[in-house]
Every structure is written in C-alpha cells, then in structure tokens.
Chains A and B, each alone.
Chain A
Amino acid sequence: MTPFTYERATSPEAAIRAVAGTPGAKFIAGGTNLLDLMKFQIERPTHLVDVRGLPLATIEDTPDGGLRIGALVTNTALAAHPRVKRDYGVVSRAIVAGATGQLRNKASVGGNLLQRNRCPYFYNVHTPCNKRVPGSGCSAIGGASRSLAVVGTSEACIAQNPGDMAVALMVLDAAVETMNAAGNTRSIPLAEFFRLPGETPEIEFALEPGELITAVTLPPPPAGTHHYHKVRDRASYAFAIVSVAAVLDEDGTGRVAFGSVAPRPWRVAEAEAALPEGPAAVVASAFDGAKPTHENAFKIPLAERTLALVIAEGKG
C-alpha cells in the first residue's frame, strides 16, 4: 500500500472540498473494494476522506411514492428495509445474492455503485490494462476472458461491471443524487451514470472530480413480480457469470436488465419491448452487436436461458 493521509469528514460540503482540493484524494466509505485495490497498488490515493460520519444513512419515502436511499445506507440495511422488501424486491434479492454477509454489512449503497471491475488483468499490475494505465493496451482481449463483457465493449477494454445491486436499480429507473464542489446538487439517471469504455475505459462514471454521491432515488414501484437470478460457478460468494433483474407484468410485458455481460448493467429499451415475444427475441435485441471472445460467447445463450428461467418463475 502506498502511504496516504486520512481525515474524517464532518459535513458533505467539507468532504467534497477536501477531495476536490487535494490531488489524488478519494472518498472512502465501507472500503470493501478500495482497500483491496490499494493493497495491490492498483488504487494509490494520496488522501482518503472518510464519509461514514455524514448524515446520509437514512431511507425515506419520497412525496411521489418512491424512495430516497442515503448513500451510506449499508447493503444489509437496504436489503432488509421493509419497504424495499415489499415494493422493490428485485433490490433485496440482488443485494443478498452478492458478496457475503460481512461485506454487505460494510458496503454502502454509494460505494457499491462505484465498485471497479473484476478483470484479472486489471488486478495484475504487471500486465497491460487500459483502465489501470491508460494507453497501455488490453490484455484481456486474447487472454483469460471467460468472466468478461460481451457487449458494450471496445477495442480498449472488455471488462464487465460485476455488480448485483446496480442491475436491480437499473430496471427500477433509479437515479443518483450528487453534490459537487460548488455545492450544487444534481440527479443523474443510472443509465447515464455508468460510462461505456470507448477509448477512455479509465473513465467509468459520470462524476466530476470531488462530486459526492449523496443518495439513490427510486421512482414509485412498477407493477409486476420482481426477479433477480444470478448465475455463478459456485453457490455463494462469487461474481455473476450472468445475472438477470426483471420486473414482469402479467400481460407479458416488463422490464429486464442483464448483469456481468457488459461494462455497465445492461438494459436496452428495444430489447425490453420484445419481452412478450419471449427470451430469444429479447436477447437477440439486447446483445445485438455483441463482440464476445471465444471464452465468453456462452454468456449470450446463457443470458437467454436465464431470462427464460425468470419468465418461467414469473408464470410460476
């Protein structure tokens, strides 16, 4: 680990000032991903601003019938919240499918959205990686790529977003509330929050330097049954190979997003519109233009089969 300085922030404004004003500074909340990356010297912040003392850990109903989730709400608390369990089941299911109880106790909602990818070449500091060292090249293309993305990728990067919670939030049309260095707040639709790699895979999120996530908001719950199915190589504590988050209505319409197949939770409007035609039509549309490797091409038929399972469960 590279030496760094550390402070506990006492207000969102002070936290943002500290990060925006210090080159190489980062926020830290649960630290469940950042600390790992610091130990491997993949992340080398010079200064950490601990935001855990900020008053951002509440879950409130919004006037429109939605939910506002503070950025510091733990994954455990969010998954167990009565309204989340009742109205936004896809979120609870996605969260408990991820990590372990211990990690979910530490991980925050805001931090979870910012978790980095799980490409093995990103983790090995001696192999080229455009995310880690922009311009150095992508070792995953032509390398060990079984777990990586098949769609939304670029010649510069095929890393996948490995999250669970974010896939569920994506089907719910969640938005990310932030505050920036000037003290301004804004709401970023989740679909715009995650950037595709293009030629700048090192830029993963639509956040300005020093911009702090303060909350995630959910619109009123959509009608239908909530599903999250995560496919993995072992029963627990593994990143998804493919996951499907869906809210399905009785009439065969609904919403669907795929996890671990793309650099961000993958939700495509045209694909979703094909739900009444069945999983093959949805996947054909959602994965149009996919560029899988020979190691991960199976993710596309797997996505179709997983969606078929979810639809079958919905009819259950």
Chain B
Amino acid sequence: MKFATPAGENPIDRLSVVGRPVPRIDGPRKVTGTARYAYERHDAVSNPAYGWIVGASIGRGRVVSIDTAAAQAAPGVLAVLSTLDFAPLAPGFRTTVHLFGGAQVQHYGQAIALVVADTFEEASAAAHLLTVEYEVAPGRYDLAAEAATAEPVADRDAPDYPVVDRIGDFEAAFAAAPVTVDQHYTTPDQTHAMMEPHATTAAWRDGKVTIWTSAQIVAWHRPDLAKWLGVTEGDVRLEAPFIGGGFGAKLIAQCDAPLAALGARAVGRPVKVTLQRPLVINNTTRRAGTHQHIRLGATRDGRLTAIGHVSLNGNLPGAFAEAAIAPTRLFYAAPNRYLTMKLAALDLAEGNDMRAPGEAPGLMALEIAMDELAEKLGMDPVALRIVNDTQVDPREPDRPFSERHFVECLRTGAERFGWDRRNPTPGAQSDGKWLIGMGMAGGFRLNLLLPSAARVRLEVDGGLTVETDMTDIGTGSYTILAQTAAEMMGVPLAAVTVRLGDSAYPVSAGSGGQFGANNATSGLYAACVKLREAVAARLGIDAADAEFRDGRVLSGDRSVALAEAVREGPLVAEDGITYGDLDEQFVQATFAAQFAEVAVDGFTGEMRVRRMLAVIDSGRVINPTTARSQVIGGMTMGVGAALMETLAVDVRHGTFITNDLGFYEVPVHGDIPHQEVVFLDYPDNKSSPMKAKGIGEIGLCGVAAAIANAVYNATGVRVRDYPITLDKHLAGLPRVA
C-alpha cells in the first residue's frame, strides 16, 4: 500500500481498541521470566559455549602480536580467536568501525580477541592470560584540543541541507538586533545505558547460522552479518523477539554478533557472547559530546531576527556529526540564520545514534539560549516561544507543517503546571534550606516515514496471527500491533497473537528514531486491508463497504461470522506501507512543552527535581499507557542528561574512564518525582493511515534544558556545561538562612 495522499476516514478511526490504555500484552511473560532474551535462549540452544571478548587497551595504533598459548592451555578453553588471524570485517551499515579483524586499533576497547570456553568463568579467566603487544600511535581524544582542526560537515541524515545553512544576512541582523544572546554550551559524551547489554547466541547448522541477538532493527543487522560471515543473507536467520532496551545502541550490529557466530563456527558448537558494561561503553557507540555556539537576535517585543547555531563535535575519521543544529532548522523562524556543523577527528569509540540524535543535545543548548533571551527581554519564556512559533518550514515558507500544536502544548502546560506562580527573578524563591525554581523548554523531533511490512493470518479458530520483523525494545510494539490488528479485523485483543523480531518475517521499519510505532502499525494496517479483501472475497462481500466488528463481517443487510471465511482453511495476507512525498510536501514533526520544578540545597548545591510535566503533540496516541511510558522514560533520561550523565574521557589513555554504571550515574527512583504527561492527541492524516507519529524520543527532547532553566531560576547561577553538577554552581549560590 502506498500512502501518497492524506488519510481519509478508515477503520482505525473507530478507536474501539486503538487509542485505549491497554496494558502491555507481553507483560506476563516479562514478569514471569518467560520472555527469553538473546543471552538466555536455553529453550533454543542446549550446551552453548561461552565467548569472552577482549578489547584493545590502547586508544589508537596496531596490534603487533597476541600470545594466546597460555589462554589456549587454560582449563575449558575451546578456541581463541585473534584479530590478527582474520581479515578486517568491513565497516557495516552506518558505521566506520571494523568490529574485528586486522591489526589496526581505531579506538580503545575495539575487539581484538574472543576466548571461547565451556563456561563463562573459564572464558573470562583465560582471557586475562593473553599477552598483547601493541604499537601505540598518537591519538586525538580531546575535543577542545582538536577544535581548530574541525571541518564543516553535512548532516548524514539530512544531506539536502547546505553545509552552511544561511537565510538572509545573519551577521548584519545579529549586529543590528536590539536584544541578543551570544553564548557557548557544551554537552558531554553519553552512553545509552540500556539495561540489557549487547548479547548474542549463535548456532550453525549445515552452513546456515541462527543468530539470537539484541537488535533494534533486524534488517539493519542481517546483511552485515551475512557479509562478515561470508554467507548469503538467506543463510542467516536472525531472531530478536525481546530486547532489554536499546536507545540506539542496538540499531546496528556490534561485535558480539559476528564474534558469537565466528566463535561458534570455530568450535563447532553454539556460542553465546555478551559485552560487559565497560566494553559497552568503550567498544560500541556513544552519543558524541558537543560544543555549541548559539547567537540569537530579537526585537524588543521578542521576535527572533537572527538565529546562529554552530555545533562542533568529534568522531572517528569518516564517521558523522551529531546533528545538534537539526531542531534549530525548524523549531523557530527568523528571517536571518546561520547554521552549521563542524567535525573534528577523534579516536574514541564511535559517536553514533542515541535517542533523539541531534535534537536531544541541540535542544539542551538552544532551549537554554531561549531562556536567556527571555530574561534579557524581560519576557516570559512561554510567551517568547509562542511569539516565535512557525507553522511553515522557515527555509521553504510554502512548506507547511502537517500538524503543529506547539503553542497549545505551551499554553496547556503553563496552565497545568501553575507557571504563573513562577517568580521570574532568579534565586528569589526558597523553602527552608531549599532554593526553588521553575523552568520550561520546548521539545521538537522529526517524524520519520519508513517502509514497513507485515503478514497477518486469520486462523481457522478465528484467531489472528501477526508476523513482522518489527522489534519490541520494551516500548510496547507487541501491544500496539495487536491493537491495530484487532481494530482492523473487528476481533477482541485476546484473539491476536503477535510474533516479532524474526528475519523470516516481513521486513518492518524496526525500532529507532521514534519511527517504529507509526510505521510498523501502518505496515500491519496495509496487511489487514489485504486480509479484509481476502475475507470479503471468500464471503462474496464487497470489501469496500464491509464493516468488521465483533467477530463479524457486516455489509448492507448481511452479517456473517468472520470464522465463516476460514472454514476451509486459514487466510494469509502480506503487505506493507510505502510512502509518497507527504513528508516533503509537509514538515512532519512532534512537539513537546516540558516543565520542571527543581529544589536546590542552598548549603550543598544538590539538586532534586520536584515536579515534571510534559505536554506532547505527536499525532494520534495508539495506546496512552505505553505512550506515557515512553514519555516518562524520556523525561527520566532527560533528568540524567541534565544532572549527572557524563562519560569522562581520559585524554592520556584515550578511554572513557567512567565505564560502568557505578561511575556513570543515571537517575534512580529517588531522583524522579511525579511525572505528569498530557497528550494533545491530534491525529495527523499526513503521517500514515494510523494518523500517529513518533512518541519514543519526543519525551526526552527539551527536558534537560527545562531542568537547567529551573536550576537557574532557583539559584541565579547559569550553568551552560552539562551535566549541571553541584560543583558548577556551588560558589555562586545565594546564602540561605
């Protein structure tokens, strides 16, 4: 099904199952331990051997030799795979890293050996018996030091934008603006910190391999794995039915998957491999830190006349830039702008996608700058954003937004949060020893349209089986797909079985970029339309005017049980959604207004978030329960980004030294107050037949800046370097009683 014109009324609009707060249907499996993750496939693989990955302990250079003799001789060891015995695995999709093979070390932690043994402990003990000789090359590990070498660079995911994106005459407009902000902001390197580390179990049989792995997008993994293993895609079966979180860390294959398969081939036995947290942090990918320079010029009544946003970051040679300027292109309009990204070479683990790539760090800076501008204007920060709302693409004013209700997000949020009680004078509100502040920020994230397919089968018992390689990374995919099928076919939710994450199933959009829910349900919608046609044909009914409801097919005076259609055997339909150019005709995006109240200990500078509110405009909400979980998860991640998360680089060794969850702190329950989420729930008929949009990332966008602005409102000390830890404002805190 090609979706090329705005959706009219369709069966989803009944909202008898879709749009309802259905608890996740895979919940019982999760809480009873019967949802099997990649490392626990005891049901599929008996007697696996265990692989332990050894990462390079230099930042850049060459492996000269690896003495494996002692490890080979250690108890239980079945094989030691040395990187020197393999040709480099060519960089895969969306990466520049050789996951294994060859002598070159591109970054600290890069895999140089796999030890396979009968038990996990034997593998780990033997791994420490390897003697590795390196030739160390000078590496570039310090973004500030490399800033001068940075080159302007295009946006990998938006290549149509000029490298230097200019409208009007920024310099002149900024110079002439009566009110300006000209500030530098930094965001640190971050790790995804998903609960389940990367993990794979692999088993060969007759030249074909089955790989149970933790993958967000099955079809982004399989071609690379086939290439690395020297087999056809058809010889690789990939299964990822359950994933313990991803946040972008598992969009593309990491070394656990090829090494498990190579190890299994070497020892003639299934092998399972997982990455320990220090390897997750130094071996896989990160969100790259940024240095951002933002200049805003405005008239005295708050209209932006000039927006300048320059973002610098660093990555491996050939890798891409974190698109921190992405939100600035479309969030606010100004007649003059200057946006560009610069990229320096850094020999650290590759910067790559992490939840709301570009938008998240970009808004961390932009939305503080807007707060600073509001203060300079003597204007309310909510009002400033309302004044600068745009309903069209600032670069192409004849290209409107499909739906944009950001102003309503702002107004609703301000009212719900009691924003009028905020004291605009910073450092002026206290509660005992606590300094109290309120802050807000806008959130913006694109809605992305990707093809997605599914298969749906009406069984003879009246049940429906859905199959697609879509994944559920903890988000609720199982549930919303079941809701979609139930709505389309007029059956109860309990009649639907959903099977996911298997490369044998039709290729979906997968989970990433907040594109999973809308596209995968739309692909299933297409398959269901086809199944409805097949049912109607069997029943001799015109599909165009048939209604599927309560297990029956209704048409004119006729009412036939759905089961009638499958008396002689099940009906199977497979189709997918593809898209026309509605995302070119219209800007499709999601919006948030984020509000936070923060208390700062006037003695110690410790910060505690007291209240949070997000008002979200992201199209139709398919399931308010799972959607709310996505948003509060994003808000929680935003608290981490604002107040604690940072990968500290040791620039001498080229390593992220805060390399486990003890040193890299993320919020705990005690850090998270009540989080209120409001969905405006405006269907977007240009996004898909579901009229839904992304929800997985918008909840994060703007959160950190809202907290930063609240901290400033509490203390009067503006911190522009994330995370805002107490040492950064301690000296400037006002005296408390």
**Interface of A toward B, CB cutoff 8 Å:** 1-3, 39, 41, 118, 120-121, 123-124, 126-127, 139, 142-144, 146, 229, 231-239, 241-242, 298, 301-302, 305-306, 308-309, 312
Neighbour of A234 across the interface among B125, B643, B648, CB < 8 A = B643
User: How many whole Å from B248's CB to the nearest CB in chain A?
Assistant: 23
Contacts of A312 in B (CB 8 A): 433, 603
User: How many whole Å from A166's CB to the nearest CB in chain B?
Assistant: 19
| A111–B713 alpha-carbon span in the complex (Å) | 44
Contacts of A139 in B (CB 8 A): 650, 652-653
**Interface of B toward A, CB cutoff 8 Å:** 57, 75, 121, 124-125, 128, 278, 433, 601, 603-606, 608, 643-644, 648, 650, 652-653, 655, 657-660, 662-663, 665, 667-671, 725-727, 730-731
Question: Are B655 and A234 neighbours in the complex by a CB distance under 8 Å?
Answer: no
Question: Are A126 and B57 neighbours in the complex by a CB distance under 8 Å?
Answer: yes
Neighbour of B657 across the interface among A143, A229, A235, A236, CB < 8 A = A143
| A144–B278 alpha-carbon span in the complex (Å) | 16
| A62–B731 alpha-carbon span in the complex (Å) | 46
* Closest B residue, CB atoms, query A299: B727
Contacts of B121 in A (CB 8 A): 1, 3
Given contacts A118-B662, A231-B726, A301-B730, contact A236 B605 (CB under 8 A): no
* Closest A residue, CB atoms, query B669: A236
Question: Are B124 and A143 neighbours in the complex by a CB distance under 8 Å?
Answer: no
Contacts of B671 in A (CB 8 A): 234-236
Question: Are A302 and B668 neighbours in the complex by a CB distance under 8 Å?
Answer: no
| A123–B278 alpha-carbon span in the complex (Å) | 10
Question: Are B655 and A124 neighbours in the complex by a CB distance under 8 Å?
Answer: yes
Given A41-B128, A123-B663, A231-B726, 9 more contacts at CB 8 Å?
A3-B125, A139-B653, A143-B657, A146-B727, A235-B608, A241-B726, A298-B726, A305-B604, A309-B601
User: How many whole Å from A299's CB to the nearest CB in chain B?
Assistant: 8
Given contacts A1-B125, A144-B648, A309-B433, contact A302 B726 (CB under 8 A): yes
Question: Are B603 and A308 neighbours in the complex by a CB distance under 8 Å?
Answer: yes
| A124–B662 alpha-carbon span in the complex (Å) | 13
| A246–B278 alpha-carbon span in the complex (Å) | 37
User: How many whole Å from B608's CB to the nearest CB in chain A?
Assistant: 6
Neighbour of B605 across the interface among A1, A237, A302, CB < 8 A = A302
* Closest B residue, CB atoms, query A41: B128
User: How many whole Å from B74's CB to the nearest CB in chain A?
Assistant: 9
Question: Are B658 and A120 neighbours in the complex by a CB distance under 8 Å?
Answer: yes
* Closest B residue, CB atoms, query A296: B727
* Closest B residue, CB atoms, query A236: B670
Write 19 A-B pairs (CB below 8 A) sorted by A numbering: A1-B121, A2-B128, A3-B121, A120-B657, A120-B658, A126-B655, A127-B657, A146-B648, A229-B604, A233-B726, A234-B667, A234-B670, A235-B608, A237-B668, A238-B665, A301-B730, A305-B730, A309-B433, A309-B603
User: How many whole Å from B223's CB to the nearest CB in chain A?
Assistant: 34
Question: Are A124 and B730 neighbours in the complex by a CB distance under 8 Å?
Answer: no
User: How many whole Å from B230's CB to the nearest CB in chain A?
Assistant: 32
* Closest B residue, CB atoms, query A3: B125
Given contacts A1-B121, A1-B125, contact A302 B730 (CB under 8 A): yes
Contacts of A301 in B (CB 8 A): 730-731
| A312–B604 alpha-carbon span in the complex (Å) | 13
User: How many whole Å from A296's CB to the nearest CB in chain B?
Assistant: 8
Contacts of B726 in A (CB 8 A): 231, 233, 241, 298, 302
| A269–B71 alpha-carbon span in the complex (Å) | 53
Question: Are A233 and B665 neighbours in the complex by a CB distance under 8 Å?
Answer: yes
Contacts of A239 in B (CB 8 A): 662
Contacts of A127 in B (CB 8 A): 650, 653, 655, 657
Question: Are B75 and A3 neighbours in the complex by a CB distance under 8 Å?
Answer: yes
Contacts of A146 in B (CB 8 A): 648, 727
* Closest B residue, CB atoms, query A1: B121
User: How many whole Å from B652's CB to the nearest CB in chain A?
Assistant: 7
Neighbour of B665 across the interface among A123, A234, A302, A306, CB < 8 A = A234
Question: Are A121 and B657 neighbours in the complex by a CB distance under 8 Å?
Answer: yes
User: How many whole Å from A117's CB to the nearest CB in chain B?
Assistant: 12
| A127–B650 alpha-carbon span in the complex (Å) | 10
Question: Are A144 and B650 neighbours in the complex by a CB distance under 8 Å?
Answer: yes
| A153–B392 alpha-carbon span in the complex (Å) | 61
| A236–B605 alpha-carbon span in the complex (Å) | 16
* Closest A residue, CB atoms, query B725: A233
Contacts of A238 in B (CB 8 A): 665
Contacts of A41 in B (CB 8 A): 124, 128
* Closest A residue, CB atoms, query B666: A234
Contacts of A1 in B (CB 8 A): 121, 124-125
Question: Are A305 and B655 neighbours in the complex by a CB distance under 8 Å?
Answer: no
User: How many whole Å from A100's CB to the nearest CB in chain B?
Assistant: 9
* Closest B residue, CB atoms, query A143: B650
Q: Which 3 A-B pairs have the closest CB atoms?
A: A235-B670, A126-B57, A309-B603
* Closest A residue, CB atoms, query B608: A235
Neighbour of B644 across the interface among A118, A234, A236, A308, CB < 8 A = A234
| A139–B648 alpha-carbon span in the complex (Å) | 14
* Closest A residue, CB atoms, query B723: A233
| A259–B291 alpha-carbon span in the complex (Å) | 35
Question: Are B643 and A124 neighbours in the complex by a CB distance under 8 Å?
Answer: no
Contacts of A298 in B (CB 8 A): 726-727, 730-731
| A142–B651 alpha-carbon span in the complex (Å) | 10
Given contacts A1-B121, A233-B644, A305-B730, contact A120 B659 (CB under 8 A): yes
Question: Are B659 and A302 neighbours in the complex by a CB distance under 8 Å?
Answer: no
User: How many whole Å from A52's CB to the nearest CB in chain B?
Assistant: 22
Contacts of A3 in B (CB 8 A): 75, 121, 125
User: How many whole Å from B333's CB to the nearest CB in chain A?
Assistant: 38
